[in-house]
């Protein structure tokens, strides 16, 4: 069973968290590159991490995204006390803010399985099983990454968790953003994930009361550990 280092960063500036992810990611990749020149008995084990955090109001655009999906200009961003970054994950534009539980797994998939499709599906399943504990029936939308409610009904479909990842040499970074108690009004300033015909929602909105975020993180960790067959240290 693999071990994963769990780190809760709390409320942290997006750029600061991004740089920290890059630092851990680069260290894991560097170890893998170094190991290629060594005999097996001299190779160093690689570490895996699971970061939890929340961010102040920020919009992030993935490498394949369209900036036109950001519907406000720089002056309006400043008025809303929000920032904007174009970043190196997959996917289009999304919003992060207080009340949203963000998870960044930095895993060496060589220690788990070398299949990005499976990785994304297990991340989705982690969230789906967690939401089930709150009585929320969630699932997937065909051809779209993330976790949805009523995905098969165009009039009701709404996204509750966005996902976007980067992987190199089978090392992952970035991850998922689960809307817990987040202010959904901020999504009105973008076309979320570049998808125009579906809404966004949160656990708070679905349950009609706030959710305890530390408990939510414990449930996410539990299901992640079961699905990825790992333990946290």
Active site residues: 193
**Using an 8 Å Cβ cutoff, are 171 and 109 in contact?**
yes
- Residue 104's alpha-carbon distances to 21, 157, 187, 191, 208, in angstroms, are 8, 26, 21, 23, 27
Contacts of residue 125, defined as CB under 8 A and 6 or more positions apart, other chains included, come to 223, 227
The DSSP output letter for 209 is S
Mode of pairing for the β-strands spanning 49-54 and 100-106? antiparallel
Bridge partners of residue 141, in order along the sequence: 144
Bridge partners of residue 70, in order along the sequence: 190
Burial state string for 8-29 with b = 16 or more CB within 10 A and e = fewer than 16: ebeebebeebbebbeebbeebb
Please provide the distance, in angstroms rounded to a whole number, between the alpha carbons at the two ends of the chain: 12
């Amino acid at each position: 069973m693999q071990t994963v280092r769990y780190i809760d960063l709390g409320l942290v500036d997006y750029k600061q968290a991004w740089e920290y992810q890059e630092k851990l990611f680069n260290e894991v990749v560097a170890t893998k590159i170094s190991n290629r020149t060594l005999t097996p008995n001299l190779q160093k084990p690689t570490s895996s991490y699971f970061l939890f955090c929340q961010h102040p109001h920020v919009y992030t655009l993935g490498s394949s995204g369209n900036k036109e999906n950001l519907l406000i200009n720089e002056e309006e961003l400043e008025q809303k006390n929000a920032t904007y970054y174009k970043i190196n994950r997959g996917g289009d534009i999304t919003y992060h803010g207080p009340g949203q539980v963000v998870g960044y797994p930095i895993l060496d998939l060589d220690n788990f399985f070398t299949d990005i499709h499976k990785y994304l599906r297990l991340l989705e399943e982690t969230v789906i099983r967690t939401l089930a504990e709150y009585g929320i029936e969630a699932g997937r939308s065909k051809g779209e990454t993330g976790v949805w409610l009523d995905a098969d009904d165009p009039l009701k479909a709404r996204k509750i968790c966005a996902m976007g990842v980067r992987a190199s040499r089978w090392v992952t970074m970035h991850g998922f953003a689960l809307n817990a108690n987040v202010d959904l009004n901020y999504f009105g300033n973008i076309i979320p994930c570049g998808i125009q015909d579906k809404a966004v929602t949160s656990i708070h909105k679905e349950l009609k009361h706030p959710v305890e975020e530390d408990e939510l993180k414990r449930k996410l960790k539990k299901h992640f550990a079961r699905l990825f067959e790992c333990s946290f240290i």
